[in-house]
Structure 1
Amino acid sequence: MTLLYSEVEEELRAAVRDLLADRYPPATVLARAESGSPYDAALWKSLARDIGAAGLLIPERYGGAGASAREAAVVLEELGRAVTPVPFLTSSVMATRALLAARSDAAEELLTSLASGDATAALAVSFATSPYRVPAGPVQAGPGGLSGRVTAVVGAETADVLLVPAGRELYAVAAADVLVEPVVSLDLTRPIATVTLDGVPATPLSADLTALRAALELGAGLLASEQLGVAEWCLSTTVAYVKERHQFARPIGSFQALKHRLADLWTQIVQARAAARNAADALAAAMRREAGADGTGTDGAGTDGAGTDGAGTDGAGTDGRGADDAATAVAVAQAWCGTVAVRAAEECVQMHGGLGMTWEHPVHLYLKRAKADEIALGTPGDHRDALAVLADVPAPSGP
């Protein structure tokens, strides 16, 4: 195992970063966020089809790239750096993982559509749902179809297909058949919505919620990489600013107190990078084992997701990781990275002074993304509690 980036991962990073720098600079980020319609269909088309991000985790036999969670993590780092409002996390990571784990003919058909970038999907669950406590959900399956109401759903506004848990099963429904009502979101670059179903026809995907749990775990683990990207942008932007801003005829970056704060933040971000990379690597190994157990290890995510494309040749492809490594790595990453991203954004706002408090600077979007991500897919407290159980650490006893 290695946490270093492979050559292929660095090439993928460069491609995504160049695209975002050209098509989604800070001025565009601000303008689209303030317009109330942050989603950029043309940008997503370029990212999904030209770079191949839409099918990154989908095996080659379905038209995907057959890459691993490590490559997806690199993409999310760059999307976090630009707070990009595209459905990569919701569709290409979480929904795709649910479909891969469902192992049904209907799921495989949807994977082919997602891989080409012709369609997007989203999980019809609250974005705050913890991967450790997957509820049956508010939607019920009846003779007339699915009925119910789900709040705080991300990606629903742009999705063509919704993956809906009802009872203990997972279904696919056409987004055109449901009512999607946008609601005010803290994160202006990641809208949320309330989804209402009233006798909606549905296609069964999985007879249990194992697929949903796998999707939430992968989403939580790779969300740490997005949080890492947010934190890194905040640090680099702050360092650049304190070198330019003068007070008492000196750059404020020369003041010892600010140096110490930035040094502490840098240390925390280095730790966050290690935690996020470890989670991505552990998840990649877990998905390879799952694909191998299914007899699909000869293509796609089974081997070349982390074996032949460079992510595995640097040491990540040797599965010396235990079965519980992924769950532990995800808990560690989320317990740490969410808090660090918020800290980095808060320091960025403070050290930008009055400018940081205005909406003329994009830093407020990063603070809102960091705060929203911190409570998404389980809070840091949820992940610490899970980590205590996984590490067999007893809870503190009362007085």
Structure 2
Amino acid sequence: MHFAFTDEQAMIAETAKAFFAENATSERTRAAMADAGVDRLLWQAFTGELGLAGVAIPEALGGVGLGMVELAILAEEAGRHTAALPLLASLALAAPAILAGGTDEQKARFLPRLASGELVASFAAMNSDGTPGVTLSDETLTGAALLLPHGASAGIFVVATDDGVAIVERGALGLGVTPLTSMDQTRPYARLDFGGVAVETLADPRASVRAALTTGWLAIAADALGGAQACLDRTVAYTQERIQFGRSIGSFQAVKHRLADMMVAIEQARSAVYWAACAIDEESDEAAFAVHAAKAFACDTYTHCAGEMIQLHGGIGFTWEHDAHLYFKRARSNASLLGTPDWHREQVAGLAGLDEAA
């Protein structure tokens, strides 16, 4: 089967590519790293001028009413430039959670504001050790939620617990928000502390968590795909310019082989990402399998390509002034957020029945 973008999807891809190439520059990203990891002018342009922030939100709720393929396109282009935007937290985690599990009133109150960029949201899932960290009882939260992407910039938080999913507004009495030092400063984390915070709950918590994680995994995989492609493109350009022993280092067979390995892995990751996006849009029985596979393979590919980028750039690749470290840190962040590649491979094995066979 041959997969190709529709004319509309191709137009979105070209528009997003030009937009991020012009606006998500290294200088602006580095400036945003000192400002809670958000390029605010870029966010305003992305949500306002580009008008695609609500790509997966229905038109009746202020969005564009498209699907996961279009969301993956945007996430891939943002990842290509390590854009300092709360795209993952607000649009790929919190918005799907509210859309899938919220009441009609909650959807109407929050989703148009998320689509317009007026409101930024973040999402708290289980802690890395598998414990919920937060207890929900009688519409009151206690405990602590860790590692909320762009949590310090969010105006509302969608918090998943064993007992339900809650929406918490930033000014709620008893809520503490603490910015955390993160490896990837373009996507910083925050910690939430709940001292008996009164909240409102979503009507369908199971659907809410499933939608948030599925869309979040896809967005991370697409971000990793874009970052890996940027690592390859920049490294190919550098190896054509760098002269050693009277010739460009890109002409050496050993270097060609490493670049070719990167390209093959990226094309495989691209197939995995857009297979997952199509499967989710079509509500295929393979969707869960596909999105776990995409998250694992794309993140591993990004980590490999970012490492190769640093090595093939030589000494300059290790410096703070070079963008290689931005890609390497984003690759590590993607690999650890919402499940490591090994964890996702375990889910694939379970869905394929391999654990039963063992």
TM-score normalised per structure 1: 0.84
Q: For residues 126-174 of structure 1, what are the alpha-carbon distances to aligned partners after superposition, in whole Å with 9 as ceiling and x for unaligned?
A: 5858xxx7x6x22223458322211111121111111112442111110
For 2:136, the equivalent position in structure 1 comes to 141
CA distance in 1, matches of 2:291, 2:187: 22
* 1:168–1:329 CA distance, 2 compared to 1 (3 A): same
For 2:12, the equivalent position in structure 1 comes to 12
- Please show how residues 49-198 of structure 1 align to structure 2 within 5 Å: 49-109=48-108, 110-125=110-125, 137-142=132-137, 145-177=140-172, 178-198=175-195
SS of the residue corresponding to residue 195 of structure 2 reads strand
Deviation at 1:357, TM superposition (A): 0.5
For 1:351, the equivalent position in structure 2 comes to 312
Aligned partner letter, 2:219: L
Deviation at 1:2, TM superposition (A): 5.2
Structure 2: runs of 5+ lacking an equivalent: none
CA distance in 1, matches of 2:64, 2:148: 27
Count of equivalent residues: 355
Aligned partner letter, 2:263: W
Deviation at 1:209, TM superposition (A): 3.1
Aligned partner letter, 2:151: A
- Please show how residues 360-399 of structure 1 align to structure 2 within 5 Å: 360-394=321-355, 397=358
* 1:144–1:266 CA distance, 2 compared to 1 (3 A): closer
Structure 1: runs of 5+ lacking an equivalent: 287-321
Of stretches 99-108 and 40-49 in structure 1, the one that deviates more from structure 2 is 99-108
* 1:106–1:155 CA distance, 2 compared to 1 (3 A): farther
* 1:117–1:30 CA distance, 2 compared to 1 (3 A): closer
Contact 1:162 1:174 in 2 (8 A): yes
Aligned partner letter, 1:275: A
Q: For residues 319-349 of structure 1, what are the alpha-carbon distances to aligned partners after superposition, in whole Å with 9 as ceiling and x for unaligned?
A: xxx4x21101012112211110001000100
CA distance in 2, matches of 1:191, 1:364: 15
CA distance in 1, matches of 2:348, 2:139: 42
Of stretches 108-117 and 226-235 in structure 1, the one that deviates more from structure 2 is 108-117
- Aligned alpha-carbon RMSD (Å): 2.0
Aligned partner letter, 1:114: L
Contact 2:139 2:200 in 1 (8 A): no
**Where does structure 1 differ by over 4 angstroms across 4 or more consecutive aligned residues?**
126-129
For 1:261, the equivalent position in structure 2 comes to 258
Q: For residues 267-292 of structure 1, what are the alpha-carbon distances to aligned partners after superposition, in whole Å with 9 as ceiling and x for unaligned?
A: 11110100011011111112xxxxxx
CA distance in 1, matches of 2:77, 2:134: 35
* 1:396–1:245 CA distance, 2 compared to 1 (3 A): farther
CA distance in 2, matches of 1:29, 1:238: 20
Aligned partner letter, 1:285: E
Deviation at 1:58, TM superposition (A): 0.8
SS of the residue corresponding to residue 29 of structure 2 reads helix
Q: Quick one: percent identity of the two aligned structures?
A: 35
Contact 1:168 1:209 in 2 (8 A): no
- Please show how residues 255-294 of structure 1 align to structure 2 within 5 Å: 255-286=252-283
CA distance in 2, matches of 1:160, 1:266: 40
CA distance in 1, matches of 2:69, 2:46: 17
Aligned partner letter, 2:261: D
Contact 1:126 1:153 in 2 (8 A): no
For 2:206, the equivalent position in structure 1 comes to 209
Q: For residues 283-319 of structure 1, what are the alpha-carbon distances to aligned partners after superposition, in whole Å with 9 as ceiling and x for unaligned?
A: 1112xxxxxxxxxxxxxxxxxxxxxxxxxxxxxxxxx
Indicate yes or no: 2:221 matched with 1:224: yes
Deviation at 1:392, TM superposition (A): 1.4
CA distance in 2, matches of 1:144, 1:339: 40
Of stretches 74-83 and 172-181 in structure 1, the one that deviates more from structure 2 is 172-181
Aligned partner letter, 1:158: S
Contact 2:36 2:152 in 1 (8 A): no
* 1:143–1:395 CA distance, 2 compared to 1 (3 A): closer
SS of the residue corresponding to residue 118 of structure 1 reads coil
* 1:207–1:265 CA distance, 2 compared to 1 (3 A): closer
Contact 1:3 1:281 in 2 (8 A): no
Aligned partner letter, 2:11: E
Q: For residues 150-202 of structure 1, what are the alpha-carbon distances to aligned partners after superposition, in whole Å with 9 as ceiling and x for unaligned?
A: 11111211111111124421111101222211111011110001111222221
SS of the residue corresponding to residue 165 of structure 1 reads strand
Of stretches 101-110 and 210-219 in structure 1, the one that deviates more from structure 2 is 101-110
Of stretches 219-228 and 66-75 in structure 1, the one that deviates more from structure 2 is 219-228
Deviation at 1:218, TM superposition (A): 1.7
Q: Determine which of 289, 300, 325 is the counterpart of 1:328.
A: 289
* 1:111–1:32 CA distance, 2 compared to 1 (3 A): closer
CA distance in 2, matches of 1:210, 1:62: 19
Deviation at 1:17, TM superposition (A): 2.5
Higher relative contact order (CA 8 A, sep 6+): 1
